[in-house]
Structure 1
Amino acid sequence: MRASMWFVYALVLLWPSLALAQETKAPKASSSAAAASAAGAIDEAKAELFVQKCASCHTVGEGVRVGPDLKDAHKRRDDAWLHLMIQFPSRKLDSDPDARAMVAEFKGVRM
């Protein structure tokens, strides 16, 4: 009987520590869930931006529409070129021979 009393006493003393350990593990799971949720929201925002700004002329992996297929565009052009072409297409089209060649290839359609 004395041993079971010590067990109950130890359990009463340790129970808050065990509960605290469970609580400290829970935020890690929820923070990873929050990170996954945020990543999902970012992916959705990117997809929506593509639909709003790019999809009328471009595809990704489905061939040429009005403009070039954007699949593997990062392999054909460096990041700086792509960044300027997306942000300042008129400036890039006026100054870059490759961009001007694309305008000719796509029947005068400018981005």
Structure 2
Amino acid sequence: MVNRKIAPPPYRGAQSPDEFITEMGNVWIGLIETIASDPDQNGALAGYFGVEPQVINDWIEARGRTRCSGSVPGGRRCANLVGLKVEYDPRVWAGERMRCTAHGPG
């Protein structure tokens, strides 16, 4: 059984700039150390966020941009990117359901 860390809850914002720097430093420094020391970095990242490794691979490939949730003939997911937003949390990214102009509103 793989020992996976529970991901922190989504970041809701600090009350002051100092709190923000402290919180972000704690999150990313711990994440960087965890990932850097693991030979399967994508697997470690998936474990950290509590998602499947394929979600991490797709998220990295799209560089955090939202992909159309429509399907193309043959059953594959559409590869078109929707909007300009970059999502830095793969859990949120995986749950986004938007469609490109070719597939219309979802």
Q: TM-score range by the shorter chain?
A: under 0.3
Q: TM-score, normalised by structure 1?
A: 0.20
User: Greater Rg, structure 1 or structure 2?
Assistant: 1
Q: Which has the higher helix share?
A: 1
Relative contact order: is structure 1 or structure 2 higher (C-alpha 8 Å, sep ≥ 6)?
2
